[in-house]
Amino acid sequence: MTSPAPSSRPPRAELHVHLEGTLEPDLAFELAARNGVELPYPDPESLRAAYDFADLPAFLDLYTANMAVLRTEADFADLTRAYLVRAARAGVRHAEISFDPQAHLVRDVPLEAVVGGITGVLERAEADHGISTLLIAAFHRDKPVADALDVLERLLAMDAPVVGIGLDNAEIGYPPGLFADLYARAETAGLRRTAHAGEEGPAANVRDALDLLHAERIDHGIAVVQDPALVARVAAGQVPFTVCPVSNVRLRAVPSLAEHPLPDMIAAGMLVSVNSDDPPYFGAYVDDVDDAVTAAFDLSRDQRAALAAASFEGSFLPRDRVAAYL
Ligand code: ADE
Ligand code: ZN
């Protein structure tokens, strides 16, 4: 997809993007060659052709397998830089980027290489790309909470510049309550808290993320529309929801963009932003997602501006920094 120059778009933030999910097939092959890793595809086009997913677990299988090419600090730096270059073209002025530390530790990639590679580039993101950034450590809900707690303690001990934590991977069968101890530790440590909930799972997962994890923000959360009382609650509290409509269609959480609950969430007065999730896997960076949503719901210029403002309002930036962007 082609994208117009950033100046034609309102400035926006991106709050829901997985760094590992920004790995383009071309870069995957470049890193594979650099690291002597064999990918089970002959070329980048064949890999991209495999990006057709039956559901979230099917996507996670390929997403995880492709991480085999990420081995060194330089790899994580290159991955981070590539996302920032593309995000700047999309008009992104502030990005809150998640990464999956456990996915790399199980492959014996040192945490220092992961964090060092990412943060070395993020430190220069404002100067080099015109994008302020915050980093979120996301934990795998299909792994034991003890494992997540161990990694969180390591991040705290090394004083990793993370603003907060998230919870991702397969949702069905792994309710939020399993991670209450992790979120309590993060809260004590002064970290911000977001969690994937209500992506494939029920509205109860959104409620439990709020009540049991003290999540301040919800990633996806589209199942909330199944529970009108919960919709009223999150609208009244202006809980930010980072919605990824193209991802939801590509992972078949909703049948089509036209049937996506985004307009209902907005109409209910919820604080909703539009995000990409894993752009190359779903064929859409955040400007492409904006365009798709604008076309599907015939959004007016004012409605697009309101969504762009909500992307900053839902951020973990201090309020004076948010105000400066609006
Ligand atoms: N990790 C990367 N993308 C994800 C998604 N959409 N849901 C859960 N975990 C993820
Ligand atoms: Zn996500």
| Per-residue pLDDT band at 1 (split at 50, 70, 90) | very low
Q: What is the CA(31)–ligand 2 centre distance, in A?
A: 23
**Residue at 214 is within a domain:** yes
**Residue at 222 is within a domain:** yes
pLDDT in tens, 51-91: 999 999 999 999 999 999 999 999 999 999 999 999 999 99
pLDDT in tens, 148-206: 999 999 999 999 999 999 999 999 999 999 999 999 999 999 999 999 999 999 999 99
**Residue at 55 is within a domain:** yes
| Per-residue pLDDT band at 50 (split at 50, 70, 90) | very high
Q: What is the CA(16)–ligand 2 centre distance, in A?
A: 6
Enumerate the active-site residues.
Answer: 199
> Helix or strand or coil: residue 303?
helix
Q: How far is CA 176 from CA 26, 121, 237, 238, 265, in A?
A: 36, 32, 20, 21, 22
Minimum CA distance residue for ligand 1 atom 8: 169
**Residue at 2 is within a domain:** no
pTM confidence score: 0.97
Q: What is the pLDDT of residue 167?
A: 98
CA dihedral defined by 70, 198, 164, 184, rounded to 10 degrees? -120
Ligand closest to Cα of 59 equals: 1
What is the tally of structural domains in the chain? 1
Q: What is the pLDDT of residue 9?
A: 84
pLDDT in tens, 276-302: 999 999 999 999 999 999 999 999 999
ipTM above 0.95, yes or no: yes
- Its domain, for residue 308, covers 11-325
Instruction: Find the CATH number of the domain harbouring 256.
Output: 3.20.20.140
Q: Which amino acid is at 299?
A: L
